[in-house]
Amino acid sequence: MHSDYIERVVDLLDPALNRIYNMSVEDARARVLSNHAESVRDIEGSFALLARDGKTFCLARSLDRPVRYFLAKREAGPALIVADRIDAIHEQLKREGLADQFHPSYTRMVPAHYIIELQLIGCPDPDPTYTRFFNPERNKLSTDLDEIGRAYVGALADEIAKWLQHAFCASPAAPAHYENASRMPTARSPIGVCFSGGIDSGAVFLITYHVMRQLGLSPSLLKAFTLSFSDGPDLQQAREFLERLGLGMFLEPIEADLASIDVRETIRTLEDYKPLDVECASMGLTLCRGIRARYPDWRCLIDGDGGDENLKDYPIEENSELTIRSVVHNTMLYQEGWGVGRIKHSLTYSGGLSRGYVRTYAPARRYGFEGFSPFTQPNVVEVAEGIPFIALTDYSVEKLYALKGEIVSRGVKAITGFDMPVFPKRRFQHGALRVDELRRRVPSREPALRKQFLALYQ
């Protein structure tokens, strides 16, 4: 009988990685277990949570915290294993003598912004149910770009202020707005910005600099780390960005050797095989390795991942599945992919940045950093989804591409007074070194990369 089964649950998630500002982790777990969307939406910060009541289990995560689970079968009853990585699940199954049930495609990624409820009642166990807890209202802002910029970058500043308090306070309490934040205690750790001089990392650097000064933190704690393979265009762009604003002293290049890129190592760390993510993670690993070699005790990194997704700034022509109509009509398409319950939604990998954020998360974790991407926070994404993209672009791809620089630069000006330089879009991996050089080290064919990934478990 199902009632006789004894379920086993192994939670391998590191609770220390939760960055919750407005309640305890125990309170947050209780909200997840309630399966009440509005209650979970009220959790401020980043989290990966498993909660249990008898044979009912609920999982929820923020956009920047990957979570996976695997349901194994035992004679005594089902075994649920939850972790942030595929290899951690595999190792646990080996310890339990259940490795013969494993295949990486059998693991499941919890999609960002959903509560998953599982009932462990025996064999076969029913499919999980999904409850969306983040559902931002679309098109609620006016078409005034100054108003949009101030709202978007203002939300960014608030999230950075909360993170700084968490990073520097023993018992952080998030302010409602950074302008009202109390002065900070003595700093415990410097802050490194992963910096290319592009729109997103540029805004993150300037807002972090501004908020640190507002909070009474010394700007000497701040550095802008730029990865360079000697002839990559980002270093010159980063230098020009900062020197135009009189901030050139913050730049710290991290020089790298092309021979240091090991695709097999990247795939092992990333646990994915999408070419652009493998390229990006290769750069992330190289940058984190270089920073760690120079600063053994460094802890905090902040970056601009998620900015492209928020303002829909990807080359539509590079993806045959997309049109501008699909981009501007689908809620959080770049953050979540086609979404839960759609034919193209991957149970193994979720979709969009919900899947792709591992490219940032995994390299930072590999080298012992506490990373933070403020553009992934719901309060920032919510403002972005409120932008009336259709009214502002009239379905013009060129107008869509121009929007991001306009919105962010106006917002940075309103919040900080800086006239932020705006350069043409360039992906992280295409700025650290030339594209032709990158192709020499990282294959662009997905089947070849997938084969290397699967070979890890053969």
User: Could you read off the pLDDT of 358-405 as tens digits, one per residue?
Assistant: 999 999 999 999 999 999 999 999 999 999 999 999 999 999 999 999
Domain that holds residue 86: 2-132
Neighbouring-strand partners of residue 81: 10, 70
Q: Are 406 and 220 in contact (CB under 8 A)?
A: no
159 and 209 share one domain: yes
- pLDDT band of 143, cuts 50, 70, 90: very high
Q: Flag whether 80 is in a domain.
A: yes
Q: What's the average model confidence in pLDDT over 429-451?
A: 78
* Average pLDDT of the chain, as a whole number: 91
Laid out side by side, the sheet with 48-53 consists of 48-53, 56-61, 114-119, 129-132
Q: Are 108 and 89 in contact (CB under 8 A)?
A: no
153 and 283 share one domain: yes
H or E segment and range at residue 228: strand 222-228
396 and 343 share one domain: yes
Cα(195)–Cα(200) distance, rounded to whole angstroms?
A: 9
Q: What's the average model confidence in pLDDT over 168-185?
A: 49
Query: Residue 350: its pLDDT value, please?
Result: 95
Largest alpha-carbon pair distance within the chain? 72
Whether residue 326 has pLDDT greater than 60: yes
Determine the angle formed by the axes of helices 263-270 and 275-294, rounding to 10 degrees: 100
84 and 209 share one domain: no
- The radius of gyration computed from the CA coordinates of the chain, to the nearest angstrom, equals 22
Q: Are 48 and 74 in contact (CB under 8 A)?
A: no
106 and 149 share one domain: no
319 and 386 share one domain: yes
221 and 339 share one domain: yes
DSSP-derived 3-state class of residue 6: coil
Q: Flag whether 55 is in a domain.
A: yes
Q: Flag whether 252 is in a domain.
A: yes
Domain end residue (candidates: 107, 132, 157): 132
The CATH number of residue 207's host domain is: 3.40.50.620
DSSP-derived 3-state class of residue 57: strand
Domain end residue (candidates: 85, 108, 132): 132
Domain count, the chain: 2
From the centroid of its chain, how far is CA 288? 16
35 and 114 share one domain: yes
User: Could you read off the pLDDT of 253-293 as tens digits, one per residue?
Assistant: 999 988 889 999 999 999 999 999 999 999 999 999 999 99
For residue 132, give the nearest of 333, 340, 332 by alpha carbon.
340
User: Could you read off the pLDDT of 231-256 as tens digits, one per residue?
Assistant: 778 899 999 999 999 999 999 999 99
110 and 224 share one domain: no
313 and 432 share one domain: yes
Q: Are 18 and 45 in contact (CB under 8 A)?
A: yes
Q: Flag whether 139 is in a domain.
A: no
Q: Flag whether 140 is in a domain.
A: no
304 and 425 share one domain: yes
Terminal C-alpha separation, the chain:
36
